[in-house]
Chains A and B, each alone.
Chain A
Amino acid sequence: MDVEIRNRPSFANMLVSLDPDDSIIAEADAMASMSADVQMSTRWNGGMMRAIARRILGGESLFVNEFTAESAGEVVLTQPFPGDIVCLELKGNTMYLQPGAFIACEPGVTLGVGWAGVRSFISGEGLFRLKVSGHGRIWFGAYGAIFTREVEGEYIVDTGHLVAYEPTVAIRVGLAGGIFSSFFSGEGVITRVKGQGKIYMQSRSFGGLAAWTNAHL
């Protein structure tokens, strides 16, 4: 299976070329176009109860679609908002994704919902996060461009910009500065990433867009 991420970073979409008997699992509604002879089967997102948990807690859809090619074919997958898509290969390691970031994965990847904790909730990252583990490639998207950083020690990310992180880093909430500068610098609450591991960030945040839109209504 060959996957090309096109039109990066603003309107990224995935052109998946399926070889015979290849399959890819994608978030419901991610498909933009596909060859007529590619089979699409819809199933619970990892069992009914787990799918419901993921829907309610992880912001993912209730169902996932599996695209399989009997001969060969292509599928174009995309995400609802403008922004980049990246590919990540899991080799038995685990990755946490923010709700809504997941787009597609290879069949060897397991999807689960993990409790993210009160700290994550306060920093605006949600009470739950999507846990991806196993072997295979996963694709996830973000609003705006995606940039990464190998954290060693401590790093600060504004709330709403964190897209994915390894379980080896701790997410802590903090104020951007003192009480005054925190509330008047426009930075407010920030996320402190501590430990060793890779984090993925997005160059725009939904909160920022909402606030900007609100100010112009």
Chain B
Amino acid sequence: MFDSYESFQGGVFHASVPEGRAGASIYLTHSEIVAKTQPEGEQTFSIRLSECQLDLGGASGRMLFCRTPDRSLTIFCEEKGFAQALHQDAMGTLSEQLSNLCMTQRRSENQFRFWVMASAVLLVVLCVGGYYGVLAASRAAVHALPISVDEKIGTIAMQSMDLEEPLDEEHPANQLVAGIVDRLKPHAAIREMDFNVVVVESDEVNAFALPGGEIVVYTGLIEQAESAEQIAGVIAHEMSHATLRHGLQSVSQSLGIIAAIQIMIGDVGGLLALGSELAQESILTGYSRGAETEADLEGARMLHAAHIDPKSMAEFFELLKEQQGDIPGVIAWISTHPQHAQRIENIINYEKTLPKVEYHLLDLDLSAAQQALK
């Protein structure tokens, strides 16, 4: 008999239905809301529109409940067009109730959205703040540790590296590098640090420093350099990594972050193993961009104090730049080494801020060392 009316799928709550509830087809006549329960034991219920009390809720928040004043009968429906159809068929009887519900729902949705956004922002702030907090704290912690810790880590790392063919101590290249270190040593930020330089045969233009003052210089670098001052620039940079304790800092930062994550998330055995591996690697492969810049400036300071022109360090970067080409902007930003051009500019600008002193050329024979390497 209701076939001519639009039907919706919903349900009904009433004491006479087994279990008190059933799914139902819902029809809207002009005066009533009618619910017909499905196949077996079909029952029909109706609520007069003029008596109907509306409520919004359900798991989705969009289910419309129509109740009799004594709440003994509830017809509910979640279908999309139901509220709209009810609004039209009720001819204004339910408009006020419907618009009130609509407003309440909108308000609660907005409130909820606000809280979700606020919590998300808070979470991001906590994470970022926590990250930088841990970095700063581990930095401070490193400076409280004695230098002997750096030395021990450096020695272990040096042994594990299995360097190929270190040059004989009497070799002119070794003499040259040792001479440069002697010249720079008195101006190092940590006086008691014992620098130990090893020259290793390799075509790579490279040098690196380990915690505690172990410095490795590849012969490729000595061969490519145009002056002893350029080599001094690189060595000053590497000595600065050691005196600024960058190796220990990167370890402690990785460990600090792992510890923080562990406190927050709980047991993260796997993460810890990964973290310690990362820390080991970071010590051997490279330092952060910030650390590189710091080492550039500290190196420039040392060179200046030793009366060697800091621009020689910039010159060497210029040389590298010519050989390698500059790294494209985006990649350079994510790679650990700041762009050469930027580094050169930084060093030159920094040199200008230092008091004027007379720079002396090094009294060391680069060409003899280069001859001997051929």
Contact = CB atoms under 8 A, between A and B. Distances in A.
B116 A118 contact: yes
B59 A170 contact: yes
B23 A93 contact: yes
Given A118-B116, A168-B11, A214-B266, A91 B38 contact: yes
A116 B60 CA distance: 8
B25 to A, nearest CB: 8
A97 interface: no
A167 B59 contact: yes
A43 B60 CA distance: 30
Interface size class for chain A?
20 to 34
A94 B23 contact: yes
A90 B40 CA distance: 12
B58 interface: yes
Interface string B266-304: 110000000000000000000000000000000000000
10 contacts: A89-B19, A93-B22, A135-B38, A168-B13, A168-B57, A168-B59, A169-B58, A196-B65, A196-B74, A198-B21
B24 A166 contact: no
A150 B19 CA distance: 11
A188 interface: no
B62 to A, nearest CB: 10
Given A196-B13, A196-B74, A214-B266, A167 B63 contact: yes
Interface in B1-60: 11, 13, 18-24, 37-40, 57-60
Contact of B57 (A116, A133, A170): A170
Contacts, number: 65
Contact of B58 (A118, A150, A168): A168
A171 interface: yes
B39 A135 contact: yes
A214 B38 contact: no
Given A92-B37, A92-B38, A168 B63 contact: yes
B125 to A, nearest CB: 18
Contacts of A133: 23
A93 B116 CA distance: 32
A214 B267 contact: yes
Given A91-B23, A196-B65, A165 B59 contact: yes
Given A118-B116, A135-B38, A93 B59 contact: no
Interface in A146-175: 150, 165-171
A212 to B, nearest CB: 14
Given A92-B24, A196-B13, A170 B61 contact: yes
Given A135-B39, A168-B63, A196-B74, A93 B21 contact: yes
A194 B57 contact: yes
A194 B20 CA distance: 18
A171 B112 CA distance: 13
B76 interface: yes
Nearest to B12: A93
A167 B78 contact: yes
A170 B38 CA distance: 25
A201 to B, nearest CB: 16
B60 A167 contact: yes
A11 to B, nearest CB: 27
A195 interface: yes
Contacts of B13: 168, 196
Nearest to B20: A150
A101 to B, nearest CB: 15
B21 A166 contact: yes
Contacts of B18: 91
Nearest to B112: A119
